[in-house]
């Protein structure tokens, strides 16, 4: 067992901060912890932050702790997870989802099968799209002042974290909206070539549909 696998096996989901309905901030600090604990590369080069949404802001995901149904389905407006690219040998790509009832972390293949369920026929308005952002870029550039969690008169829709809002390295106070605006026309039919290069250079990463997700990660060097 490698050092990173040994550390990962000693980590429990309770070791990570989790504030309900603030998945983007939860993932931000999850990435930082994976880096500092040795589970991920110190600079986060093997981490990818994945925003899941669509133009209608209605995406069904299964096995979610917030669900009141036996199958765990929730219709989120958006969701955010971290995918860790396999580091050595035959180890799988891993999905870190603090809101999931599946094993933590879960292999990408089983997470897609159980949570995304691409074989399940959905109406087009519920199709899921994925914005994939390289971890180091996300940690430098992401910012949220939590304005999206206030109603029209300024009251909190859900209680915010007690720590200060995340500010980007360039001083940006809020750009969450740019990450979660994911529309079908942004999608591409090719998960190879340019996309695997662009994900390492573009602030907002690359966008694809659920059928391309696993193929994309198999192409990343």
Altogether, the residues listed in the chain come to a count of: 221
CB atoms within 10 A of CB 206: 24
Is residue 79 among the annotated active site residues?
yes
pLDDT tier, 191 (very low <50, low <70, confident <90, very high otherwise): very low
- The pLDDT of residue 7 is 62
pLDDT tier, 194 (very low <50, low <70, confident <90, very high otherwise): confident
Question: Residue 154: is its pLDDT beyond 80?
Answer: yes
- The pLDDT of residue 60 is 97
Catalytic residue, candidates 31, 35, 63, 79: 79
Catalytic residue, candidates 31, 46, 63, 97: 97
**Higher confidence at residue 101 or residue 118?**
101
Strands laid side by side in the 79-84 sheet = 106-107, 94-96, 79-84, 47-53, 129-134, 206-209
Question: Residue 192: is its pLDDT beyond 60?
Answer: no
Question: Taking all residues of the chain, what is their mean pLDDT, rounded to a whole number?
Answer: 91
Question: Residue 1: is its pLDDT beyond 60?
Answer: no
| Euclidean distance between CA atoms 82 and 97, whole angstroms | 7
H or E stretch covering 207: strand 206-209
pLDDT tier, 183 (very low <50, low <70, confident <90, very high otherwise): confident
Report the Cα–Cα distance between both ends of the chain, in Å, rounded.
23
- The pLDDT of residue 99 is 98
Catalytic residue, candidates 23, 31, 35, 82: 23
**Higher confidence at residue 9 or residue 81?**
81
- In this predicted model, what pLDDT tens digit does every residue of 78-95 receive, in sequence order? 999 999 998 776 789 999
CB atoms within 10 A of CB 214: 18
**Higher confidence at residue 119 or residue 89?**
119
Mean pLDDT along residues 208-215: 89
Mean pLDDT along residues 162-175: 98
Is residue 148 among the annotated active site residues?
no
Is residue 99 among the annotated active site residues?
no
- Token duo for residue 126: 């519920």
- In this predicted model, what pLDDT tens digit does every residue of 121-153 receive, in sequence order? 889 899 999 999 999 999 999 999 999 999 999
Tokens 């949570």 belong to 115
Question: Residue 52: is its pLDDT beyond 60?
Answer: yes
Q: Are 135 and 32 in contact (CB under 8 A)?
A: no
- The pLDDT of residue 136 is 98
- The pLDDT of residue 4 is 61
């Amino acid at each position: 067992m490698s050092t990173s696998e040994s550390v990962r096996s000693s980590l429990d989901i309770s070791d990570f901060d989790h504030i309900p309905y603030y998945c983007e901030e939860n993932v931000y600090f999850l990435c930082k912890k994976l880096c500092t604990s040795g589970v991920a590369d110190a600079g986060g080069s093997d981490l990818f932050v994945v925003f899941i949404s669509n133009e209608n802001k209605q995406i069904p995901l299964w096995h979610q702790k917030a669900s009141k149904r036996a199958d765990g389905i929730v219709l989120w407006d958006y969701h955010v997870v971290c995918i860790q690219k396999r580091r050595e040998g035959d180890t799988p790509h891993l999905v870190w989802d603090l809101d999931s009832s599946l094993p933590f972390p879960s292999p990408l293949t089983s997470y897609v099968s159980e949570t995304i369920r691409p074989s399940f026929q959905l109406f087009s308005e519920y199709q899921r799209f994925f914005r994939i952002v390289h971890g180091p870029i996300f940690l430098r550039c992401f910012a949220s002042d939590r304005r999206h969690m206030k109603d029209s008169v300024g009251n909190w829709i859900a209680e915010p974290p007690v720590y200060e809002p995340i500010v980007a390295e360039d001083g940006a106070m809020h750009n969450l909206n740019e990450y979660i605006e994911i529309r079908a026309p942004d999608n591409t039919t090719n998960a190879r070539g340019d996309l695997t290069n662009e994900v390492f250079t573009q602030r907002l990463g690359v966008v694809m549909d659920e059928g391309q997700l696993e193929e994309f990660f198999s192409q990343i060097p």
